[in-house]
Chains A and B, each alone.
Chain A
Amino acid sequence: EAGVTQFPSHSVIEKGQTVTLRCDPISGHDNLYWYRRVMGKEIKFLLHFVKESKQDESGMPNNRFLAERTGGTYSTLKVQPAELEDSGVYFCASSPGRPGNTIYFGEGSWLTVV
């Protein structure tokens, strides 16, 4: 069974450009999460989808970040326009429907804004 997959694995863009990160959760997982780790800080929650609905987006830093999960399958996280402080690792995770289930993480998308 395929795990959580993320694309691209690495991305280097210039300040002001747009980047779109994609996450394919484990098949059948209703819950999809985005997390981020910036240099020197802890991994921080960004948002949580249940199927196609945003359950909690309290961690989204500002309106330059837009997450979507059309059809309740894969998700995208767009950063527009990117700023230097957006550099870091963006992790996607998924879990089945019930609380208390294992949360599986992808390998992350490493974003560098120059």
Chain B
Amino acid sequence: SQELEQSPQSLIVQEGKNLTINCTSSKTLYGLYWYKQKYGEGLIFLMMLQKGGEEKSHEKITAKLDEKKQQSSLHITASQPSHAGIYLCGAEGGGTSYGKLTFGQGTILTVHP
């Protein structure tokens, strides 16, 4: 079965700093989703990547999928307190299992003002 490893497990940064969260898979990634969760709330969709080498950006967040499709990174530029939360990567296994996501354990991000 597919496993996802996120690093770091937690991250504390000062407001304005850049940061990167990584998601590494034991198998080829057919669809890689990034979500953000705030405590007590649901998962907020950020981005989805499917093609090797693909890169997407939304506001100050950029996500990339490497050429081999086994690692993805999420980069936040000039972090703000509103970026704080738990970042989760989720991967589809391919074939007919679309929507059946395997999740990493999450990265807890704290941004100090």
* A residues apposed to B, CB below 8 Å: 4, 31, 33, 35, 41-45, 48, 55-56, 59, 91, 93, 95, 99-100, 102-108, 110
Question: B residues within 8 Å of A by Cβ?
Answer: 4, 31, 33, 35, 40-45, 48, 50, 88, 90, 96-106
Query: Can you list 14 residue pairs at the A/B interface with Cβ under 8 Å?
Result: A31-B99, A35-B101, A41-B105, A42-B102, A42-B104, A42-B105, A43-B90, A44-B103, A91-B42, A91-B43, A99-B31, A102-B48, A103-B99, A105-B44
Q: Please, how many angstroms separate the alpha-carbon atoms of A91 and B101 in the complex?
A: 12
A106–B42 CB distance below 8 A = yes
Nearest A-chain residue to B88, judged by Cβ: A43
Minimum Cβ distance to chain B for residue A94 (Å): 9
With both chains docked as a complex, state the minimum distance between the C-beta of A109 and any C-beta of chain B, in angstroms.
10
Shortest Cβ-Cβ A-B pairs, 6 listed: A107-B42, A99-B98, A105-B43, A43-B103, A42-B103, A105-B42
A50 nearest CB neighbor, chain B only: B99
Q: Which of A43, A44, A95, A107 contacts B99 (CB 8 A)?
A: A95
| Docked CA distance A59–B104 (Å) | 16
Q: Which of A55, A105, A106 is the one whose CB lies under 8 Å from B35?
A: A105
What is the distance, in angstroms, from A87's C-beta to the closest C-beta of chain B?
15
| Contact residue among B42, B102, B103 (Cβ-Cβ distance under 8 Å from A108) | B42
Decide if B100 touches A33 in the complex (CB within 8 Å): yes
